[in-house]
Chains A and B, each alone.
Chain A
């Protein structure tokens, strides 16, 4: 849990801050072309951040950071026969290696989602108020966020958090043939988990939209 959560903190903060900056910048810039005023930018930005970009981008970052890490670890254990050794000593490698990472990943995904959204909103507020002169109180409004946004996002977080370690550990366990195999397993883990996150995100969002959540 420590290695998934704390070590990803700086990374998530950095990427999400830039995401917040760019979203507000683009939104304000584009809104100025169509609309005369910038009052909706803040609420819409916070709403989308909570529901769409927060879970997705945090999960993508977690997939690169943690998914690759898990695959690298389990992969190098596999090619050095440590997994076999575990089986010999009657310790189930899945129970011993995957389950803790699985639980940690789900919990950390939720925590990092909250953290990431806060960082992105802070960065977005900075550029929205300083560069575009939007009133702080108009910008920081939750009127564009509903409870259902939060529930959908939480649901996404749990699903993404569960999917990443499974995919990563799977490609790690399947690694064969020395350092080349580990490198290949890590690559596969990253690609698979990135793609799965986007795919699941699309499915969940569509279903949520259909049901009007």
Chain B
């Protein structure tokens, strides 16, 4: 990899941003391929580590995901409340909030929260292992770090984000129902009826499919930045920062393409 020439001009900065972006994407693609190669040769990954990761990722992020989801649902109801008040169409509130939560806002915000909680933590963990030479120690022992560290995390994140999104969706709707009654003063039954009537199964499933891809994207991004760390505590902090930023970009882009392909 050639280092871009250091210039301070606007164009120089612009070009450097692009070169770094492409280098990052390339490195992530390679990591992705190595993960799949490890997955295909099933004996190459560690079963115990996978179970530990599933537990850690799922259970630890459950409270924060539930809390976020509930408020997101509430927020959507308040946001659509303005239009409901303007038009007087109270029956639309369940449809509006349900569609928004299931298909877009729910998966995106749960994904962002997940990347903040799990992705960042993962980058920090791997980064610390790198700066304390633990990854090299694994290689010396003849253990493949991809199979031992990365693949379990990759799978655990996909599985757990999938379930967290499903649970989160339900809590978002519940949060929305409570807000509907408390803030908007509309009977909850109208809200639930609106959701049931608008047949949102396709939206719900699309949200879950998104969750699978978001989980994979967050895993690859956070592992990539974790393995890239150089230079002690400062490096770890910067890597975590880069990791959450890249995850956010990935989430929004993947989200767009899935929606367009789905509909």
Pick the contact of A195 from B64, B83, B238 — CB < 8 Å? B64
Residue B52 CB within 8 A of the other chain: no
Residue B78 CB within 8 A of the other chain: yes
Interface size on A, residues (CB 8 A): 54
Among B17, B132, B234, B259, the one with the most A-chain Cβ atoms within 10 Å of its Cβ is B234
* Contact between chains at A68 and B120 (CB < 8 Å): yes
Given contacts A60-B112, A68-B120, A194-B68, contact A182 B252 (CB under 8 A): no
* Contact between chains at B245 and A201 (CB < 8 Å): no
Given contacts A179-B232, A191-B116, contact A72 B240 (CB under 8 A): yes
Given contacts A14-B249, A64-B248, A190-B120, contact A44 B83 (CB under 8 A): yes
Q: How far is the CA of A164 from the CA of B143 in the complex (A)?
A: 41
Q: How far is the CA of A199 from the CA of B64 in the complex (A)?
A: 12
Pick the contact of B104 from A26, A194, A198 — CB < 8 Å? A26
* Contact between chains at B252 and A183 (CB < 8 Å): no
Q: How far is the CA of A205 from the CA of B183 in the complex (A)?
A: 10
A72 surroundings in chain B (CB, below 8 A): 234, 236-238, 240-241
How many inter-chain residue pairs (CB < 8 Å) link A and B? 167
Residue B32 CB within 8 A of the other chain: no
Given contacts A184-B121, A187-B116, A205-B75, contact A195 B67 (CB under 8 A): yes
Given contacts A179-B232, A202-B75, contact A186 B237 (CB under 8 A): yes
10 other A-B residue contacts (CB within 8 Å) besides A30-B99, A72-B236: A15-B248, A34-B95, A71-B237, A80-B233, A178-B128, A178-B233, A184-B124, A186-B124, A194-B68, A194-B113
Residues of A within 8 A of B (CB): 10-11, 14-15, 18-19, 21-23, 25-26, 29-30, 34, 44, 48, 51-52, 56, 60-61, 64-65, 68-69, 71-73, 75-76, 79-80, 178-187, 190-191, 194-195, 198-199, 201-202, 205-206, 209-210
13 A–B pairs (Cβ distance < 8 Å), ordered by A: A11-B249, A15-B248, A18-B255, A25-B263, A44-B83, A64-B115, A68-B241, A182-B236, A183-B128, A184-B124, A185-B237, A195-B113, A198-B71
